[in-house]
Structure 1
Amino acid sequence: MIRFLTALCLGVFLSVSGPMGGPAAFAQTTLQSTPDYAAWERVATRAEAALESGKASDAAFGVLRQDIVNWRTQFQAQLSANDSRIKTLNEQIAALGPAPEEGSSEAAEIGARRSELQRQLEVLTTPRRTAEEAFSRANGLVSEIDKIIRARQSDELLRKGPVPLDPSLWNNALRDLRVSLTGLWDGVTSAFSNPTARANAQNNLPLIMILFVAATVLLLRSRTWSEQFAVRIQARETQASAGFTGFVVSLGQILFPILGIFALMQALDATGFYGPRGDMLISSLPIVGVIIFSSRWLGSRIFPKAQEVETPMGLGPKRRWEGRVYAMLLGIILALRFLLERLSDFDRHSLETTAVLDFPLIALAGIILFRIGQLLHKSDPSKSTLSAEGSYRSQVVPLLSKASMIIGLGAPVLAIIGYSGAALALIYPAILSLALCGAITQINEAVRDLFAFFSPSVNPSEALLPTLINFFLLVLTLPVFALIWGARLTDLTELWSRFRNGVSIGDTTISPGSFITLIVVFMIGYFLTRAVQGTMKNNLLPKTKLDPGAQVAMVSGLGYVGIFLAALIAITSAGIDLSSLAIVAGALSVGIGFGLQNIVSNFVSGIILLIERPISEGDWIEVGGQMGYVRDISVRSTRIETFDRTDVIVPNADLVSGTVTNYTRGNTIGRLIVPVGVAYGNDTRRIEEILREIASAHPMVLANPAPAVVFSGFGADSLDFEIRVILRDVNWMLSVKSEMNHQIAERFATEGIEIPFAQRDIWLRNPEALKDDGA
């Protein structure tokens, strides 16, 4: 427990201070100086001797490992020293041309210059080769030390120790515990019997009383006040910020009692009535307080008392009360285990005493963990707030339930048969993991509530931003889970060091720094491209004489060029050498050419459409039996909106290689034909005159060329005419045709002109068959 809490605090510190005070800063300070290889040789020799004997303690190996890691950081910094100068020398040598073959000669001046450059290059690369060899040696030593420590950890877990149920061990264990508690009391009485200590306490009595009163209020009442205030806030369903505000206020259930513990520590310190063991216990109070009050806070959040507050588990009132009690008991067990471990280390209890004293806590923790697993199993997903956030988390609850019940039964059994180390490695990490899962759930809910406050019109469960934030927070907790389950802090720092070094692909190393540089530079270029596109589209191009289609083509082309340049600049800024990937790209291009030939064809066709512009956005076209307006032209396809208000996605290759009818290419002028039929016997000259008057009077019809009326022929039922006009905007074709038909019907009715309808004579071949025989 102590090792875990210490490692956790150190991990948080290193994660915060790593960019400034970690290995990177150490590397920068040693970059300008050459490592002392003689001193390194002594350290490496001592490490190899310790590894060969294998008798050093874990603490000694840890100190030795840290020393080697510091040396390795110096060597790593030396590997990248003088990179720019070496690159310049290589370019200078390449500029002199290839070296002459054996038996041939070159100009004396060129040869002398080549030798001088080679000598300078050798001087600069020799330290790098030396550092590379030392770096490999240090890396190997670190790996061997980690291997030995991990093997010892595995042996410790699998080693069988004393059986805690052996009655012969109980007397010694109780005696050791009594000695520790007696020593604690003796320290208090010894300090109290000291006149100087009593005098100091009397002098500090007003301060002690004030601190004791403050500590009492904060410890006994502040948690209840914070809980009640948070419940009242969360019960306000009309406020979008109620959930997040309630979460922040509820943290007072941890903060204020911890302040009370610090006040209590100051009051006890002012009395001076404690001995060495008392000093040890007083210094442990903050961690004990964090454990107990955090568990109570988490229990009140996961299993809330108020019925109006939603619960992540979807449980009834009785089950919630059980959950709160179990959470508080687990916190007390963890605190007692922490105090017992510190007391055992202080008094150096034997392995038998530790096993006996640990067993009651393990057994009680196992029972409670099993009961919590049963509670999780009884949760109702339909009433849980987890289902609203994501079903995947609702699926995790049954897994946690089964794991809790299995560990709750298995850990006490392992302790009974003597495997106390394995039991401790199971039961307490399981409890801490459950607590961490609960904390993650609460943080996710708070992020969701905060997003709902700033974006009330968007459902948080369907939004991308809170999901990404919660995923990022989940990734950040993975090192904490690793520390809980036995990973050492050095394992995480080693993994982080390798991650920072990056992955080598050929002569190119892709590190997190280069990757971040790539993303940042590309995003800057992307946003600049969009800004220039917006300026041209809204401010510059509308003031030119270019048609809208040409303006869209220029803006789209600028976007493609800008994104390409942004990607190229980003790759160059990240230090990625594309020439080293040329062979791989060449091999992949063959497969891509066969597998993606249709996509490439559509891409090239899209470029052709943007350059030649046979169609533009807003054009009325017909292609492949589909008719509509062009709404968007992309590099792969074109979107056409039909008159039914449906979108048709047409591959660009069909527009380039197929037949396309463009009704509005270049202008919107187009012809309209309106067919008209009249009954036989009407004056055809009068009909022609009426139709010409109607066509000429319409405002959408152009006067030049003038409208024409054609007597197209003698139909089966009517005399057929056609009105042929040129419209100034062909997009109004249907409206103009409908309006002309209305006017034709009105004029024909006024003039008494009949619009015929089809008439047919029916001849019956056998009419006698229709007669009724019985008539």
Structure 2
Amino acid sequence: MLKLSRMAVLAVLLTLGLGPGMALAQEPAAPSADTPAAPPTVTVTRPTVTPAPAAPATGTNVVVSKGSGSSSGPDYAAWERLAARAESLLSNEETEDRGLELLRSQLVAERTKFLAAQNTNSSRIATVRDQIAALGPAPPEGETEAPEIAQRRQQLAERLVQLQAPGLAAEEAFRRADGLIGEVDRTLRERQANQLLQLWPSPVNPANWPEALVALGDVTVRLWTETTTRWTRGDGRRALFDNLPLIVLLTALGLALLSQTRRMTAMVQARLPRPRAARARRVMALLLSLAQIVLPTLGAIALARAVTATGLIGPVGASLAEALPAVVFAFVAANWLGQAVFPVEEGEDSSTVLLAERRAEGRFLARTIGLVLGVETLRQVLLVEVGGSDTANAVLAFPVLATMAVLIFRMGQLLRRHVRSLQQGDEGLSYGLRVLGFLARAVMLSSVAGVTLGAVGYLSAATALVNPSVISLGLVAVLFLLQRLVADLYGLVTRSDAADQEGLIPVLIGFAMTLGSLPIFAVIWGARWADITELWQRFLQGFQIGATRVSPTDFLIFAVIFGAGYAVTRVFQGALRGTILPRTSLDQGGQNALVSGVGYLGIFLAALVAINSAGIDLSGLAIVAGALSVGIGFGLQNIVSNFVSGIILLIERPVSEGDWIEVGPVKGTVKSISVRSTRIQTFDRSDVIVPNADLVTQQVTNWTRFNLSGRVIVPIGVAFGSDTRKVERVLREIAEAQPLAVLNPPPMIAFTGFGADAMNFEIRMILRDVNFSVNVRSEINHQIVERFEAEGIEIPFAQSEVSLRNVEALAEALRGMVPLGAEAARPAIPGATETGGQAR
């Protein structure tokens, strides 16, 4: 296959000039001196356009023309103008952040177009490459090939260059846009860091307080001036009288919603039927409690509209009226979270194990935090509308900041107490509680650091610590409530009392919600939303594997196709196992082996098709795989050996499921054979996992693989002096009377020899089913005892002879130790011997 580098493609493209469906846009005039020269623009069947030189940046406004290019591809002329203006604005330090944000959004839009344009002519490029590959490799240097083949190869090469040109141009523009976006992000981050390190006048310095009082007085005077002016001019008075019915209605509605929300919620809850299940009661109570947030916020909106309709307020008053719903929402939302996390009554739905006094303190802290957030909202509105010096803003911001820091410090202490109370009750803490404990410590530390930095004068840094801590606490509380709600809903849907917050599905949903909240936490703590979207864009672009870029879409395609192939494989296995194989002559072991082999083959083919469909080219990993194969071979040689042995067992089938085998010290029945190991159930009903390599390399005794019949040997001893022919006859009758005994060949009675205490015989017989050998052996022993007793044949027991020395001294010792009159104190007989435990 002919391989062309990108530089070679561009070089050939420049030398070829115009091609079929292609045109090089030649610039009729050189660009101005203050504009960098743009490279020749490659276009695909679009009119030639000449980029205008970029005007020098003046001021802070960003005005970018999108141009009017062809709809078949990106407008490169407009892109050149946009890129030149972006470079000019980035070099101007006076460009405002809003201008840079607007510029960034336009660059992102162009980059998206270029990313899509990189796949232009992809199918045709693949076809031309296949055509070049069909011509065979190019001849080595110094050799020639047929003229028609060489001419065709040259034509295909030129065609390939022409087809690749739009994609290369789009890739080059994509790289430039990506670089400009990175510069914008870097500039904005540097400005944000500089703003955090800005030193304001110290708010604890009493010399700065009068200026803050003057600023408050100015705000009051301005509000009064705006109202009196509109009343005096008459326009405000006319608007008030004209809108008086609407104002009265909105005011009454707003006051009713603000004051009567709790009563209305209680009335609705009393009229609804009380659910029997505790989860249903929790869900209903939570949903009804949301009215405590929605209704007061609607009431605040109504009041704000009523104040605006009077026509007596100016810009400052209008801003305060517009901020009223946000103030009310902050207060009622914080109050709602406090009541949900720190309930009044401790019961089954209680989320903490704190005492009632501590829970009441938690609710008070939550309400106060909401009130302080509302005050901070009003302060920021006044700061935007009225302005003021840095000294006044610092003095007015510090009390709110310090109050908030004290509140969240105390809240952190309550959370730590909650975690400690759970830690005393259990030996260990769950992961969620450990995270909660870390969050409590972090909140306390940020509150102390925020007050310290604010007192010094670093108000921006202090605000960046305290305010995100407050919002993070609220978001954690919301996540906790959502996770409990999901668990309750899952329990109601499944109608299972066991489905609670510790169930798998609720935990997975809670984990997904936590992951989804990470970008929100990042934005709360100062990350720009553009940074989050940029990370998401990078993720969607994927990563490089060899010469192939793999994106999340490829993984989705791979998962869908592999899942479909896996499902088809399982369905086919089920058909084989339940319909086809039972009608064949294969035994159960062969059927299981065939079904397992089909499963492995189907999974391999599904993975192969999925990789090919997703467009993942793993050829670039061949060298890495070759380097890793040596290490993997040494590290996984036992696993590979067991895997190969499992395949041998499935193919040769020397051992099948249900066989009674003996492998070393393990005896039992084979229950299952997998690729790596074999499960054997011993006769004491315990499972032993034996590696497949042991079944292949060691000696294996299979008692029932090819034939269930097997030999049983029952040894027996008789006393010396017994009639051996009679013993043989009796034993033969007993053996032949067994129902499972095979009579051809007949049982054999062997007189094996003379032992120390008895004459030894053996019954050797073949059973039809060796699995009952233990039962047969036990029955034979019972019959031997019965027949020998009836026939007068003695079964001997072990005998021993004891010789005593110094009998007189031993007798004297016994007389002194054993009490007189005891039966055991009889004097020993000199020279007595004891045989079989009896003296004679």
Into which bin does the TM-score normalised by the smaller protein fall?
Answer: 0.7 to 0.9
Alignment of 1:567-586 (within 5 A): 567-586=607-626
Q: Is the 8 A contact 2:203 2:454 kept in 1?
A: yes
- Whole-Å Cα distance in 2 between the matches of residues 389 and 716 of structure 1? 66
Residue in 2 that maps onto 1:6: none
- Whole-Å Cα distance in 2 between the matches of residues 514 and 76 of structure 1? 16
Residue in 1 that maps onto 2:14: none
Q: Does 1:716 align with 2:752?
A: no
1:700 Cα shift? 2.9
Partner residue of 2:667 out of 627, 632, 639: 627
Residue in 1 that maps onto 2:583: 543
Q: Is the 8 A contact 1:187 1:277 kept in 2?
A: no
1:388 Cα shift? 11
Residue in 1 that maps onto 2:298: 262
Partner residue of 1:273 out of 310, 313, 320: 310
* Counterpart AA for 2:413: Q
Alignment of 1:291-690 (within 5 A): 291-309=330-348, 311-383=350-422, 391-450=430-489, 454=494, 456=496, 464-690=504-730
* Counterpart AA for 1:273: T
Query: Which ranges in structure 1 are unaligned for 5 or more consecutive residues?
Result: 1-29
- Whole-Å Cα distance in 2 between the matches of residues 337 and 47 of structure 1? 37
1:283 Cα shift? 4.2
- Whole-Å Cα distance in 2 between the matches of residues 542 and 408 of structure 1? 74
Q: Is the 8 A contact 1:310 1:385 kept in 2?
A: no
User: In the superposition, relative to structure 1, how do residues 448 and 725 fare at CA in structure 2: closer, same or farther (>3 Å)?
Assistant: farther
Residue in 2 that maps onto 1:18: none
Which structure's residues are more often helix, by fraction? 1
Using the size of structure 1 for normalisation, the TM-score is: 0.87
Residue in 2 that maps onto 1:198: 241
- Whole-Å Cα distance in 1 between the matches of residues 136 and 675 of structure 2? 44
Q: Is the 8 A contact 1:673 1:723 kept in 2?
A: yes
1:483 Cα shift? 0.4
* Counterpart AA for 1:81: T
1:435 Cα shift? 1.6
Secondary structure of the corresponding residue to residue 582 of structure 1: helix
* Counterpart AA for 1:140: G
Structure (1 or 2) with the larger CA radius of gyration = 2
Q: Is the 8 A contact 2:283 2:489 kept in 1?
A: no
Partner residue of 1:97 out of 116, 136, 139: 136
Query: Which ranges in structure 2 are unaligned for 5 or more consecutive residues?
Result: 1-68, 817-840
Q: Is the 8 A contact 1:330 1:365 kept in 2?
A: yes
Partner residue of 1:759 out of 799, 804, 813: 799
- Whole-Å Cα distance in 1 between the matches of residues 792 and 235 of structure 2? 128
Secondary structure of the corresponding residue to residue 73 of structure 2: coil
Residue in 1 that maps onto 2:17: none
Q: Is the 8 A contact 2:751 2:762 kept in 1?
A: yes
Of 655-664 and 36-45, more deviation after overlay is shown by 655-664
- Whole-Å Cα distance in 2 between the matches of residues 706 and 151 of structure 1? 101
* Counterpart AA for 1:219: T
* Counterpart AA for 1:175: G
- Whole-Å Cα distance in 1 between the matches of residues 246 and 618 of structure 2? 76
1:637 Cα shift? 2.0
Residue in 1 that maps onto 2:220: 178
Secondary structure of the corresponding residue to residue 794 of structure 2: coil
Secondary structure of the corresponding residue to residue 145 of structure 2: coil
Partner residue of 1:163 out of 196, 202, 206: 202
1:383 Cα shift? 4.0
1:656 Cα shift? 1.0
User: In the superposition, relative to structure 1, how do residues 711 and 460 fare at CA in structure 2: closer, same or farther (>3 Å)?
Assistant: farther
Q: Is the 8 A contact 2:668 2:682 kept in 1?
A: yes
* Counterpart AA for 1:675: P
User: In the superposition, relative to structure 1, how do residues 204 and 360 fare at CA in structure 2: closer, same or farther (>3 Å)?
Assistant: closer
User: In the superposition, relative to structure 1, how do residues 473 and 270 fare at CA in structure 2: closer, same or farther (>3 Å)?
Assistant: same
* Counterpart AA for 2:660: W
User: In the superposition, relative to structure 1, how do residues 558 and 535 fare at CA in structure 2: closer, same or farther (>3 Å)?
Assistant: same
Q: Does 1:144 align with 2:180?
A: no
Secondary structure of the corresponding residue to residue 136 of structure 2: coil
* Counterpart AA for 1:170: A
Number of matched pairs? 739
Q: Does 1:84 align with 2:123?
A: yes
Q: Is the 8 A contact 2:293 2:333 kept in 1?
A: no
Secondary structure of the corresponding residue to residue 685 of structure 2: coil
Identity value in percent: 46
User: In the superposition, relative to structure 1, how do residues 695 and 227 fare at CA in structure 2: closer, same or farther (>3 Å)?
Assistant: farther
1:673 Cα shift? 1.4
Secondary structure of the corresponding residue to residue 802 of structure 2: coil
Using the size of structure 2 for normalisation, the TM-score is: 0.81
1:310 Cα shift? 5.5
Secondary structure of the corresponding residue to residue 771 of structure 1: helix
User: In the superposition, relative to structure 1, how do residues 157 and 626 fare at CA in structure 2: closer, same or farther (>3 Å)?
Assistant: same
Secondary structure of the corresponding residue to residue 709 of structure 1: strand
- Whole-Å Cα distance in 1 between the matches of residues 94 and 724 of structure 2? 121
Q: Deviations 1:722-756 (Å, cap 9, x if unpaired)?
A: 22222222222212222222233333344444332
Q: Deviations 1:645-665 (Å, cap 9, x if unpaired)?
A: 333222222211111111111
Q: Deviations 1:463-487 (Å, cap 9, x if unpaired)?
A: 5444333322221111011000011
Residue in 2 that maps onto 1:250: 286
Q: Is the 8 A contact 2:209 2:392 kept in 1?
A: no
User: In the superposition, relative to structure 1, how do residues 562 and 501 fare at CA in structure 2: closer, same or farther (>3 Å)?
Assistant: same
Of 725-734 and 463-472, more deviation after overlay is shown by 463-472
Residue in 1 that maps onto 2:60: none
User: In the superposition, relative to structure 1, how do residues 765 and 322 fare at CA in structure 2: closer, same or farther (>3 Å)?
Assistant: same
Alignment of 1:28-67 (within 5 A): 33-67=72-106
1:498 Cα shift? 0.5
Of 271-280 and 632-641, more deviation after overlay is shown by 271-280
- Whole-Å Cα distance in 2 between the matches of residues 223 and 107 of structure 1? 91
1:280 Cα shift? 4.0
- Whole-Å Cα distance in 1 between the matches of residues 95 and 420 of structure 2? 53
Of 373-382 and 77-86, more deviation after overlay is shown by 373-382
Residue in 2 that maps onto 1:215: 257
Of 597-606 and 381-390, more deviation after overlay is shown by 381-390
Of 626-635 and 551-560, more deviation after overlay is shown by 626-635
1:631 Cα shift? 2.1
Q: Is the 8 A contact 1:201 1:270 kept in 2?
A: no
User: In the superposition, relative to structure 1, how do residues 283 and 310 fare at CA in structure 2: closer, same or farther (>3 Å)?
Assistant: same
* Counterpart AA for 1:638: T
Residue in 2 that maps onto 1:19: none
Residue in 2 that maps onto 1:15: none
- Whole-Å Cα distance in 1 between the matches of residues 97 and 731 of structure 2? 107
CA RMSD of the aligned region, Å?
Answer: 3.3
User: In the superposition, relative to structure 1, how do residues 385 and 148 fare at CA in structure 2: closer, same or farther (>3 Å)?
Assistant: farther
User: In the superposition, relative to structure 1, how do residues 218 and 503 fare at CA in structure 2: closer, same or farther (>3 Å)?
Assistant: farther
1:551 Cα shift? 1.4
